Structure 1
């Protein structure tokens, strides 16, 4: 199943080795992140399976501008006029004016077994080599809780990219952590709360520092950009991620 309910009016959508979060308020929706370019159909099918239409998405919030998160933004804008928002710092990255992503060579160097080779093949088919700038992206319209379904609160978490943002969902006690904190990845040998491998991060030390912005949030449910939801609370997730990061930085 490509989508699942994880809290009241909160759903996750599984793209190609990447997660999206959908917030619902009546007929209105907020989408956090948009998978790979090839995940557009998955997003639309999941929304329709929940009894909604893609036109019900009032806005898309972008944690950061890597290809596995911006994928369907242009499709949704072109077909439904959906606005997209991210942090002021991340706008230039989303528009393709700066580059803070792992390169294909970075990935190729780490294809060490069948699982990582299979992952690379699948993300390539989903648009992993396709340039996908988002010229229409805007900055968050206000500070604090956004006037959107689910009332998400942007939490600056720079490091994975310079303008990375997590989203606190105080109404349901959850936080969408994007790629600042994940619970699994095909290129990682471990599972559970962790940072992504160094080559994915613009700055792993800054990503580690960004965990400080997350650990005190009132959030029992952690919704990562990669891996399964974590239900033991954000403070416990951060503790696990710090322990994992100690090995990354050796």
Structure 2
């Protein structure tokens, strides 16, 4: 995955009412129904202005975000949640298992020590500097995080359907969008990363994952049963094609790049 240069985020309408946005080496998604939005994930803390910019490109305001859904509580997905909650009262919703992680009652985070240990690898230092500037080192805790219902479509713009995909973190969740044949996969299935030499559907480098490789592959199995042909990942570009084929491709390859480990702690 080629790193996103500094400047405005890349805003791509991938389907009617569905927008994929790329900020600092990470994506978020906007789901629109009329003048109401669901924001799925929130970038790094330094991406807050970029999140607001992406909303403005739709002619809407941050106040039009009905809720922020979070696939998992890593810092590169939580950046906008506290500013939006403080400024606009926006509720923040996660899988019930992931709420404690968002509140930092427990931690499943990549530690600075592990990043330092990997700086000998050529790709790690420029990536680490870039994301550090975006706030990767901040300890973002969302004390106000709340659980969403775990069965059926959520009553939010886009009607996203939670798909539990624990592995990257214990309560990681993807979101199926039946109306557009899309699935927001977060970090359970990506299409690129600055630390991976591969392109296309793949698992993240293993050191990013709280769970084992086996748990990550179990999450892929959960995705394989989803009827979708548009993959909207947490990292990398949108991917079109049968989701099962994307899952099979990722399952058949080792996790790309990064220091090799089967149980990396964030």
Same-fold call, TM cutoff 0.5: yes
2 CA distance for matches of 1:236 and 1:69? 26
- The structure 1 residue matched to 2:186, chosen from 154, 178, 189, is 178
Aligned to 2:105: 97
Aligned to 1:29: 37
Aligned to 1:79: 87
Give the TM-score, by structure 2 length.
Answer: 0.90
1:102-122 alpha-carbon deviations (Å, 9 max, x no partner): 111222222345543221111
2 CA distance for matches of 1:217 and 1:249? 29
Q: Shift of residue 44 of structure 1? A: 0.3
Query: CA 1:73–1:127 in structure 2 vs 1: closer, same or farther (change >3 Å)?
Result: same
Aligned to 2:237: 228
Q: Secondary structure at the match of 2:239?
A: coil
Aligned to 2:20: 12
Q: Secondary structure at the match of 2:100?
A: helix
Q: Shift of residue 71 of structure 1? A: 1.1
Q: Secondary structure at the match of 1:52?
A: coil
The answer as to whether partners of 1:24 and 1:30 remain within 8 angstroms in 2 is yes
Query: CA 1:50–1:217 in structure 2 vs 1: closer, same or farther (change >3 Å)?
Result: same
Aligned to 1:207: 216
Query: CA 1:128–1:246 in structure 2 vs 1: closer, same or farther (change >3 Å)?
Result: closer
1:92-140 alpha-carbon deviations (Å, 9 max, x no partner): 1000111111111222222345543221111101111111100000000
Aligned to 1:192: 200
Give the TM-score, by structure 1 length.
Answer: 0.96
- Equivalent pairs counted in the alignment come to 250
1:42-88 alpha-carbon deviations (Å, 9 max, x no partner): 00011111100000100010100001001110001111110010001
Please tell me whether residue 70 in structure 1 is matched to residue 78 in structure 2.
yes
Structure 1 residue ranges (4+ consecutive) displaced by more than 6 angstroms after TM superposition: 246-250
Aligned to 1:148: 156
2 CA distance for matches of 1:119 and 1:197? 13
- The structure 1 residue matched to 2:129, chosen from 121, 125, 129, is 121
In structure 1, runs of 5+ residues without a counterpart are none
Query: CA 1:249–1:243 in structure 2 vs 1: closer, same or farther (change >3 Å)?
Result: farther
Question: Once structures 1 and 2 are overlaid, which stretch shifts more, 115-124 or 30-39?
Answer: 115-124
Please tell me whether residue 219 in structure 1 is matched to residue 224 in structure 2.
no
In structure 2, runs of 5+ residues without a counterpart are 1-8
The answer as to whether partners of 1:2 and 1:42 remain within 8 angstroms in 2 is no
